[in-house]
Structure formats: C-alpha cells, structure tokens
Structure 1
C-alpha cells in the first residue's frame, strides 16, 4: 500500500497523544472556514451545539483510517474553465460542510493535539469593513475557547501606509496573535514592485506590533493558473527582505505548495535554503505537503526552523499528524523529539507564548454578539 494502514495510523495518533504530558501540542496552520473562495453560508445546527453547517450537510466527527499518499501533478498554465472552478467549489463544500468550535475540538481530540492557530484570509477585493465583519464572526464563534487562537489578515485594498494601523486595530479588538497573508487568494502579485513594497510595509508594521506573519508560499495552484498561481512563489518571495521584521515570519507549506518533487529538488529547495540562511527570523510550516515532499523538507531544513501545520480542514488534521510521524520514522529520526520540537518547542519560541490567551485579553475584549449563522457576499468569480 502506498500509504499508511489504518491500524498504524491509529497507533501513531495514540503515541502523539501521549506526548501531551511534555507540554501543549500546537497546530499553527488551520483555517476556520473555507478561505479560497469564501462563498459558503452556514447555519447553526440546533441538535449540535458548536456546529454550523451548510444547508443539506450533516456533521460527522472525524474518524481515523488509512492514509493514501498522493502525488502533485504539473497543472500547466492554462486558465481554468468556469465549469471546473464550479466543480472545485462544490468539492470544497465536502471539506468545509461544517465549521465551529466543536468541529475543530473533535479534530484536536482525534489528532492528539491541544491548540490551534486559526488563519482567516482577506478575500480579493475586500475592504477593511468587510473583513472586520468576518473577524467578528470568527471571534464570536471561536473566541470563548482558549484552544483557538486567532490570526488576522490585511485586505488587499488597503494602502501600504494603512497596514500597520489596521493590524494594530485587529490586535486590540480581536486579540490576534499573527497576520496571515495569502498572495494567491487575496490577489497580491508579489512579482510587482508595488506589491513587494506593500508586503514589506506589512513586515515592518508587524515588527513594531510584535506580530508574527504567516505567508502562503507556492505555485501551481489547482484553482488559479497563469500569472496568479505564481503570486506567492519562491521566485517572488526570495526578493523580499524578511529581516525587516524582527518578528518571526513563517513560510506556509515550506514555500512549496503544490510543487512537484523534481522541481522541489532542483529549484525550490536551494532557493529556500538560501532564504533561511539569509533571514534568521524565517521559518517554515509543514502544511499542504504530500508525503515525499514532506520527507524532503524534513531531511533538508533544520528542525529548529520547522513548525507543525495541518491546513485543516482542507486535509484532516489527524491525517497530517499520522503522515508526519510516518515520515519521521522513514527518515530514521527520533520522531518523538522531532515532533515535540515542531508542535510544542518551536511554536512557543516563534510565537513567544502568544498562542496562550491571557486573562487580560479576555477582560479587554468588547461585549460579544451572538452570531449563529454567516453568509458571505459572493465575490466575482476568479
């Protein structure tokens, strides 16, 4: 079997759960709703507190099973027909048919982890007021549970000189612990000088605010092609001065999302290694990598620069936990020590304990409103 049998997956998850006695285990890359298109409407399930579901969807708790390893195809550069994009959105509805604190609590219980960092993404064309409504919904839905820490995001319509003020506002109002930037989803072309300057303004602002930055890295996106798929590629990211931020910067997906293995070996990894050597504050997370790509990153990047991330619910959290443990076993590494480093030691260092909500944060938050449903305004089709 090109994968992990169910009984072995279950054993890995039990062994990870036993590591919790050494300290809290974090997943630093989780999306609290479907962020790629942000078109789904959710309603409170009256029979399941803490669960919001799309119409016609029935929530089922996660159950571990076998893991099948996939491959990353070269998708080409042609524009995706609208019909294929519509099909893709429908398939994403299967992954994100239900959201809410119970959904992610069940993910944690099944995976043997303790806490997550929730990463919203400001949609292309969204403005400050629109994204603030989204943040309010997220905070009202997840903010009462200390297992869920919130990140923010910067709407791409803001000017560079507005970024720091808006990030400071999100930090004060929503107690955010980081800023998430997704160049492809937000339509931020880092291959242009104006957007390079924009992102470096974000880095400088987050440095002054003490906020880590999580940046999507990769290309060959299955939903967008042509130049847009390349917006967050290492080719563009390598041109940025990440040292402008004294705060940590995390390259999601190790900067190589959807990158075929041969391309990783020949082109992407040498670039990533130079970036890590140049910027002491630069880290990677393990989310969104297939098994062979994951092994290559684990074998090539210093363990002190790696954070565990799952990209849930795009991939079940337990599946990424089991796959990471299996990869460490296959490399002959002392997996317990490494997994603890990725999921506990390094997050504490990188986020300087901001993943642990303080009592003062809870007391300073404004009165909460009860939101039991959310329906986003559909944006134009990409």
Structure 2
C-alpha cells in the first residue's frame, strides 16, 4: 500500500508518478493507494477535486455518494470515468469492450481501476473530540474554518497576492459562458504547439469575446509542421487571423500555414514589448508578459468586457498559475519554466487563449477598406 498524507499539498504530477510505481510481480497481490487530505487551500492543490470529481466536483454530471466505487481509466494522460472495470480498447477515441485480444498489443488494452472517496470530519474521530481540537478549528478565519471544520471543498481557495489572474475573475468568465446556437464570425485562432513530452497542442477559437471550447491534441498527434497545420486549417473559420507561438517547434507549422496563404502571425513571446498597460504608466519586460496582462485586463470585472471562457478545469488552473512582479516600471510575468516548476506541467491551455485574445484585423477586411491601395503591415502587439 502507498499512502499520501496531505495529498492536496503534493503536485498532481508527483502523485501520478508515484502511483505508476505501485505494482507487484505477484499477480495475486492487491496494490492500493490511500490519499488523505483536507480541502485544498491553494490553486496548486485543486487537482484533487478533479481526481475525485464524482464526489467533490459539484458540476460533475453523474455525482457519487461517499464510499461508492467508481472506475477510472487513463487515456492520453487524462482520467476517463467509465461504468465498470471491464477492459477495453479505443476505436476513434471511443471505448470498445468487445474486441479480439490477439489483434491488439498489450499496451493498447486499457484496464480501469477502482476509485472511491470516503468523507470524514473531526466529529467522526472520537480520539480528537476530547482534545479541544474542535474549538481550535472553530476559531480559524474563513475560509479555513469551513474547509477544516466542515470539510467544505467549495470554500474559497486563497490566491497568491501576486497572481496575474485572480481566481474569481476567471471563474466569473466561465460562469458567463453558454453554448451558442449560432456562432458569430471567428475573429482569432490561438495555437500553442506541443513541445514534446506530455505537452499538448491546444487550439483556442475566439468569436468576439466569446471563446469556444479548446481543441486539444496530444503531442503524438502533432509530430511535425504539416500535421499541426492540418489541424489548424480544419478548425479555422471565416479566414480568421491565426496567432501561433513560433518559439521552437511552432516555426514549422507557421511556415506551412504561410505557404498555404493563410493570415498567420508568428508570436515570439521572448521579444521585447513596446506596449503599455491599460493605465498607460507601465510597460512589459517581454511580449509574454504583455499577452498575459492583456488577458488579466480582459478578465478584470471592473472593465466589463463581457469575456466568456469555456468551463474547463485545466484552463482555470493554467490561468491562475502565473504570478507577476514589478521591476522598475515594467511588469514581469513568470516564465513558462517557472510555471512548470509550480504546477508540474506546461500552461498550454492558457497560452493558446492568450494568443487567441490578440486582435488582428482580417486581411480581407483591410483590402476591402483600402480598395486598390496597398495594405500596410499591421502590428497586433502595438
């Protein structure tokens, strides 16, 4: 048995890595993991709610009661909740339970594992009830009191004071989101290309200030420029400008999209920024800081932009991960490497949505407005 005490204080990648070593050479030996934890008090610990989503996520479509056994399988590094523990294979991304075992490699057969959650409060422990511990918990300030005394996973999670995007702002934008029967024209497509390993290629589509659900592909689906460019072309509508991160592997799909005569803007987030913040007083250390700050300004409730983001736990975690600092009169947002060290993965989702927020006029509109006049180069970062 592998036991994690205060599991919500671990990074998700740390827990999953150790779970990967939970095995035995004896097929008759049962291996189990026990995770004990309080409701998370930081954004980094929110993964625990997704890990036990049927019990803890109030928006989960098929909620479970405490102690109920559910089954989860890992598909492309993500948990997929299934009805039972039967093995299956994937056909077009759909589980197929009736299959010829000899026709598939052992690693292609997916075995769901049982998972359950048993809630417990201090009042369930007779050894603690006589120690005055309840009085101690009652004296805690909110939201700690609700979290520790009542086991309330919906109680507020404290933000870092230097967090770029306050959690409440991102949650408000997601609460504002509703599916649209008819989409307005696409105004921008943001593309963050997988850099290998567990990174994912994420496409974010923007229609006005309404953002569609992310299109997510494992790095194995986008091994080269043509593969990524093909997925981008399939997602594109209304000849919208494509904003793609060209650092590293992003340059290859940029070249293919350019050759395909698409309006594609290569974004090198390491470049110097010449823009100012909304107040006009502060500059940015680099283009990356500028893009993140523009997302912050769009989400700021006081600015009333009407931005609507799709409800997605990964997007929420990504948006709330980076912190910032002021260096002289320049805003500096934490680097990708700093965020990876903090949450254990690359913020691919948020990066794509920051790119999609860029507002570049469509080249067709500029040509129509200019008649036969030459269309001048437009800088979306200015």
Q: Same fold (TM over 0.5)?
A: no
| Structure exhibiting the larger radius of gyration computed from Cα positions | 2
Q: Comparing both structures, which one devotes a greater share of its residues to helix? A: 1
TM-score, length-scaled by structure 2: 0.26
Larger RCO: Structure 1 or Structure 2 (Cα < 8 Å, ≥ 6 residues apart)?
Answer: 1
TM-score, length-scaled by structure 1: 0.26
